[in-house]
Amino acid sequence: MHPLRRRFPPLVVGWALVAASSVGAQPALDIQEHVLDNGFTVLLVEDHRAPRVAANLWIRVGSMAEPVGLHGITHFLEHVIHQGTTTVGTRNLAAEMPLLREVHETEQELLAHRSRERNRLRERDVFFDELAWPTTPEMDSLRERLYALEDRDDEHRIFWVTYKEYMQRGGYVRHTDPVPASTEQDYLEMNMALPKEHLELFFRLEAERMVNAVLRGWEAQRFTVLEQILGGQSRPQTRFNEAIDGVTAQIHPVYVPDGGHLRDFGNFSRAAMHRIYDDYFVPNNAALVLVGDVTLDAVLPLAERYFGALPRGPEPPADLDLEAEPVPGGAVRLDWTEPLAPQAHLRYRIPGMGHPDRPVLDLIAALLGGSHGMADRRLADRGLSASVEADFRVIHTYRFGAPGAFNLVARAASDADLGAVEEALLGAIADLRAGRIEEGALRRARKRLRLEWAQFRNNPQELAFLIGHHHTMNHWSVLPVLLEARDGAGVDDVRRVAARYFVPSNRVIATARSEPPEGSGPSWLDFLWGDLPGDGR
């Protein structure tokens, strides 16, 4: 869709007639649900301890929806979508419109020329360095014109206006970035906590952003996101972690880095970004989660006025639900060849959020991890000094809603300890499979889970994130079910689940050393510092 032909102006005063569906309170958490006629969902938890409301808007789109060659474009969209709309962030829309049209037409010309040139170069295997696709003087000239047009458009632009509006009214976010949002494999979410008297601002700005976004400052944000990727790739630990993801499932899109691949930054276009925006930013693919000093009766008029006025869109492409074989068919071993703090990772593939085994996997993570966990006890029995973590967050175990992974990590004191550390981790897994679990260990694990849940329950922003997280990847109702199920799980459940998933054919073992063996080869960095994608600025 042309960037200037948007769907529908959301800022209307009239009321839409809606049909609501309500779901009763759950025993562990009272979540109220209301669904508008256009499919937009409101989820609310009342918390009247402070006169503030945590608000999260969730869109079910993430890196798993991206085609090959455009990995990272959804995270990029997260940044650009905060640069304004047709009514917000512009000094003079009428004067800006011709520039925006010229940007669109120039980019179309650049895309056509690039496609023509790349189709001419059929010998793809010659491009060992995928950042070095040949360019042409015409392509360079068109890109320079886009840079110049963006600079001219900046004269009409008011920078970071929505963020400033929030901050001036007492808002705060989960992190300190002026892009109050995050993107992962399964979702894109906007978050803000506001005094309750200013909650309407969130409805107005985010409804406007859903339908009338203008991708201002696109080139500048492309380089901002690229800088983030380069920052991550400059850290050996990040490269190691991404390598483990790469061998865990080979082709399943859930293991593609949500920030994208470096080589793809030269392929991004506004047109491709608008396709994601047009397909997924529709009310029937969105949910608003509110936690704080507010009632459903108070927020429904706001929901109907702003989000209820948006037309229901076509059902978004189900590209987040692609079925791809997650198991490579045998145990995998990765020995990292760059110097890194000595560590051993033991990883097993697990099912997605909402699966009945996920509560038990949370309990297993609590059993294994921490300074008093079963893995640490195994290490102590061998006289080893290492810190152990089962890669688990209170509610979900690694890798979000799609088929994911359970990750057990031990950071060793020295390279010489790695063999024994690996054996200790495998010994802890064997204990689980055999049901060798002390009653005291089970009590401590359950206590840890309850404590972490209490911390989430006591923080409106974190609770709003948690509810939206589960709802976007499955349904909010799986959260209270999970809480109850894992609290009641016992040794037999642990033994059954461990026997099902913690098997060699479903296993990845990865190790890193501070002094890799000689002859391991050059560092990946040796191939990195050449021309960057979209060079010239």
Beta bridge partners of 107: none
Three-state SS string over 124-183 comes to HHHCCCCCCCCCCHHHHHHHHHHHHHHHHHHHHECCCHHHHHHHHCCCECCCCCCCCEEE
CA pair distance 513, 466, nearest whole angstrom: 36
The residues, any chain, with a CB within 8 Å of residue 67's CB and separated by 6 or more, are: none
CA pair distance 532, 534, nearest whole angstrom: 6
pLDDT tens per residue, range 95-145: 999 999 999 999 999 999 998 988 887 665 555 555 667 789 999 999 999
pLDDT at site 20 = 30
pTM above 0.85, yes or no: yes
pLDDT tens per residue, range 275-305: 999 999 999 999 999 999 999 999 999 999 9
Cα–Cα separations (whole angstroms), residue 234 to 222, 231, 238, 306, 537: 18, 5, 8, 43, 21
pLDDT at site 22 = 34
> Which tokens go with 504?
């060699």
CA dihedral 469, 470, 474, 480 (to 10 degrees): -170
Which CATH homologous superfamily contains domain 332-512?
Metalloenzyme, LuxS/M16 peptidase-like (3.30.830.10)
Q: Look at residues 190, 188, 175 and name the one whose alpha carbon lies nearest to residue 289.
A: 190
Q: What is the mean pLDDT of each run of 10 residues along the chain (537 residues)?
A: 42 30 48 98 97 97 88 94 94 95 97 89 58 83 96 94 94 82 91 97 97 94 89 88 80 74 87 96 98 97 98 89 58 92 91 89 91 88 77 42 78 92 95 96 93 92 94 92 92 96 92 84 49 43
433, containing H or E segment: helix 418-434
pLDDT at site 395 = 35
CA pair distance 112, 123, nearest whole angstrom: 20
pLDDT at site 127 = 52
CA pair distance 30, 44, nearest whole angstrom: 8
CA pair distance 26, 318, nearest whole angstrom: 29
CA pair distance 221, 227, nearest whole angstrom: 10
Q: Return contacts of 519-527, CB within 8 angstroms, 24+ apart.
A: 520/337, 520/338, 521/337, 523/338, 524/239, 524/338, 525/234, 527/129
Judge whether 205 and 165 are in contact, CB under 8 Å. yes
Residue count of the chain, please give it.
537
pLDDT at site 2 = 44
Pairing of strands 286-292, 41-46: parallel
What letter would DSSP give residue 393? Answer: B
Whose tokens are 């690996």? That residue is 422
351 burial (CB, 10 Å; 0-12 / 13-18 / 19+) is middle
**Fold of the domain built from segment(s) 32-90+159-314:** Cytochrome Bc1 Complex; Chain A, domain 1 (3.30.830)
What letter would DSSP give residue 403? Answer: S
> Which tokens go with 525?
């960095």
DSSP for 190-220 reads EEEEEEGGGHHHHHHHHHHHHHHB--TTHHH
Q: Return contacts of 529-532, CB within 8 angstroms, 24+ apart.
A: 530/129, 530/131, 530/132, 531/131, 531/132, 532/131, 532/226, 532/230, 532/265
Count Cα atoms within 13 angstroms, Cβ side, for 123: 4
pLDDT at site 135 = 85
Work out the angle between the directed axes of helices 478-488 and 460-473 (0-180°, nearest 10).
100
pLDDT at site 234 = 86
pLDDT at site 535 = 42
DSSP for 216-270 reads TTHHHHHHHHHHHHHHHHTSHHHHHHHHHHHHHHTT-GGGS-TT--GGGGGT--H
Q: Residue 457: what residue type?
A: R
